[in-house]
Amino acid sequence: MYRKLIFELSKEGRSGHKLPQPDVPVKNITDMLPGKKLRHKDADLPQVAENEIVRHFTSLSEMNHNVDKAFYPLGSCTMKYNPKINEKLASLPGFAQLHPDQPEQSVQGALQIMYDLQEYLKELTGFSAVSLQPAAGAQGEMTGLLLIRKYHQIKGRNPKVILVPDSAHGTNPASAVIAGFSIKTIRSDSKGMVDLNDLERQVDENTAGIMLTNPSTLGIFESQVLEIRKIMDKVDGLMYMDGANMNALFGIVRPGDMGFDVMHLNLHKSFSTPHGGGGPGSGPVAVNEKLENFLPVPWIVKVEDRFTLEHNVPASIGKVHSFYGNFALLVRAYIYCRMIGRDGFRKVSEHAIINANYLRKKLQGIYDVGYDMPSMHEFVVSAEAQKNRGAKALDIAKRLLDFGVHPPTVYFPLIVKEALMIEPTETESREMLDYFADALIKIDREIDENPEVVLSAPHTTPVRRLDEAGAARNLDINFYKKSSKKPE
């Protein structure tokens, strides 16, 4: 169904607000700003009544799929339900109305929350120090790599290569390049883990470190960490862990205890803070004793019963974000930690693992499970057999939209053909998992019995099958305003 644009609802003279009479002297704006800063014609803004604009945006929100509306099994992105108490408490005036330039004595509560959150993350990861400053997972990756570079520089070395397994997150190579390194790819073995023979061949004196996603994007726990550590130690190479999948490890194993030197965490994934839509993220970095003196400034330091920001850290890599990261997200993550506690974190991982393995077993035999071994929090199936019968992974994903659920990640990781990467998270019920599995099984039958319904999907969404290649090449945000053509 076509919904009108806000401009189509506009009527001359209609308004949804009225400003009170000013109680201060009125000044003409032309006396306050130079002419070059002023508009020469009115802004093209819609004129709409309050009830109409509320209905308009409520209607638009219903068109968009979101985790509050239905299941969102987006593999490797942990799109789990966020407790609403996070939003309520983070919006308290004492948090929402803080200014980052306030004197330290006036923000002791905020500093304590950040300090305590660092302590919680240290305990969960097994590392000796944490910085909350990075504003996203990818920025956390870059920060960790800058710490690795600094480590080698202090020792008078300048190795230029970062090793990245072919099952790693896609941002790892990009982050390494931005940090000044070149990349070598390490192959996976038949079990989906790092091929140790290939690793041995590629490690040399020019190796600065390795970036290991654990569990990997295949949803497989890398059990060879100690062997990898021994190989890297031969050249004083450091081990970076991409902690985006940490929600499979909470309370079960700690990366610091496994021998990693540095990792990042995704608070906007594992710690129930908002994720997606281009909003703010948070990617704290945790390090061991080798790297803690290089962490970004300022550090949050506790002196007796007071908290302060320490800027005088000579070996620091400097700032990586303005002020001290995205504070509102740190508040949400802190609330989550306090709510579920130590035992709750282990339950989070246990339930995420159980849900993933339950789904994997239900789909096995219908879709090919590329690596047939127990999963962690997510797993990858291949739709190669379905493609050979006429429907690609993309077709299956679009058909899933008709069942009211968001499709999983498709075509990633690249080492699985026609990949469907599924992560149910710990927050979904067995009934929802059964509904999702039954939808995928029904789509598989439709490929043989009624292929057109799959190949032309989706049918029930506000916008039907899109010309994605055309949309990517012809960007025009004013298209519908200028054209008489209406979306389906």
If we measure between CA atoms, which residue out of 172, 74, 72, 78 comes closest to residue 421? 74
pLDDT by 10s per residue, the chain, length 488: 567 889 999 999 998 888 899 999 999 888 889 888 898 888 889 999 999 999 999 888 888 888 889 999 999 888 898 899 999 999 999 999 999 899 999 999 999 999 999 999 999 999 999 999 999 999 999 999 999 999 999 999 999 999 999 998 889 999 999 999 999 999 999 999 999 999 999 999 999 999 999 999 999 999 999 999 999 999 999 999 999 999 999 999 999 999 999 999 999 889 998 876 556 789 999 999 999 999 999 999 999 999 999 999 999 999 999 888 889 999 999 999 999 999 999 999 999 999 999 999 999 999 999 787 899 999 999 999 999 999 999 999 999 999 999 999 999 998 999 999 999 999 999 999 999 999 999 999 999 999 999 999 999 998 888 877 777 787 775 554 454 444 44
306, 110 in Cβ contact below 8 A? no
What is the domain class of 87-339 according to CATH? alpha beta
This model's pTM is above 0.85: yes
**In CATH terms, are 87-339 and 348-473 the same topology?**
no
Q: In the chain, where are the structural domains located?
A: 6-63, 87-339, 348-473
Cβ-based neighbours of 80, under 8 Å, separated by 6 or more: 67, 269, 272, 425, 426, 427
- Which of the four CATH numbers 3.40.50.1820, 1.25.40.10, 1.10.10.10, 3.90.1150.10 does domain 348-473 have? 3.90.1150.10
Radius of gyration of the CA atoms of the chain, in A: 26
